[in-house]
Amino acid sequence: MEFISDALTNITSPMILFFVLGFFATILKSDIEIPDVITKTLAIYFMIAIGLKGGFEISKSGINENLYSSLINSLLIGLIVPLIAFLILKYIGRFDSTNAGAIAAHYGSVSVVTFVTAISFLNGKSEPYSGYMVGMMALMESPAIFVSLFLVRIFNSEKIASLKSNMVDLLKESLFNASVVLLFGSLLIGLAVGEKGITTVKPFFIDPFNGVLTLFLLDMGMIAGKRISEFKAVGLFLFFFAIIMPLISALVTTVLTQLFGFSIGDSLLFTVLAASASYIAAPAAVRIALPQANPAYYITMSLAITFPFNIMLGIPLYYYIINLFR
């Protein structure tokens, strides 16, 4: 079966194996350590690299009607996914509105590293994708956060005052956080300089991409390993939610991308974005807007459960599901 073959290829890739190495190294109490400054530098590298490449690809293809369809699709995903997540948590999991909203915000927002891993997967399959998908990723970081907070406001009137008082800070954090600014800024720079400009930075930002991703995933594996001890706080329901919710998001998004007629590559990237859970932008926004929410829930779920599932099994599974619809 193609899925099994793709899954095995994905799991045995150097990037994923180094994630596993980092995960087990932490569990085994190894003294491997990557300084925080290097981790932040690697994150900045990825923002610039994928932004530049996306802008360059747009400069080659130009702005077309698919871009407008993608904008609509991004907004629909940002509305539907957090709504489904919130209702499941609220009425099936019986969580209070604050924690349900906080978790829904994370599952409606996106994971940049999962997106980067999906790009690496597509490159390995020689599957083309549109450069503007980088812009869609940046666009999809914020809407789900606001939708989730709106749901909290509806279901819990006591939080109205605190949400209003924090709205300015929330807007700043959601719209002008480092990842959004770097992604959109790099995208515009790549669009402006075109092929000639990209050639000058290609040896640093394009060619070593997978090698740098390997180092970054080693660090992500170590971070995920540190969260393993918090599984008890998450509970069995949230553990399964962290795996099943990405599958629900993937199915919904696959249907939407099929209706819009997107290519396989773009469909996969949209699906991966919808199925991923944020552990950078959303936690920062939720800390501002919903300080009462339990970080052990949403951080552990997104980083220690959903992220490993997506990069090891989710991406090839979504690719297989998308191809079933063709």
Rounded Cα gap, residues 144 and 282, in angstroms: 9
**pTM for the full model?**
0.84
**Structural domains in the chain plus CATH codes:** 2-324 (1.20.1530.20)
Asked if the model's pLDDT at residue 303 lies above 90, the reply is: no
The gap from C-alpha 209 to its chain's centroid, in whole angstroms, comes to: 18
Cα 20 to Cα 297: distance, rounded to the nearest angstrom: 22
Q: Specify the 3-state DSSP secondary structure of 293.
A: coil
Radius of gyration of the chain (CA): 19
Q: How far is 132 from 187, CA to CA, in rounded Å?
A: 8
* 141 phi, psi to nearest 5 deg: -70, -35
DSSP conformation class of 214: H
Sequential DSSP letters for 215-242: HHHHHHHHHHHHHGGGHHHHHHHHHHHH
* pLDDT greater at residue 229 or residue 255: 255
Mean pLDDT of the chain: 85
pLDDT at 172: 66
Residues 6 or more apart whose CB falls under 8 angstroms from that of 177 comprise: 141, 280, 281, 284, 285
Inform me whether the pLDDT recorded for 167 exceeds 50.
yes
pLDDT of res. 160: 47
Q: How many CA atoms lie within 13 A of 41 on its CB side?
A: 7
More confident of the two residues 222 and 84: 84
Q: Tokens at residue 16, please?
A: 């994923």
**1 three-state secondary structure:** coil
Q: Which residue has the tokens 């329901």?
A: 237
- pLDDT-derived band at 156, boundaries 50, 70, 90: confident
pLDDT computed for residue 159 by the predictor: 47
Mean pLDDT of 18-25: 91
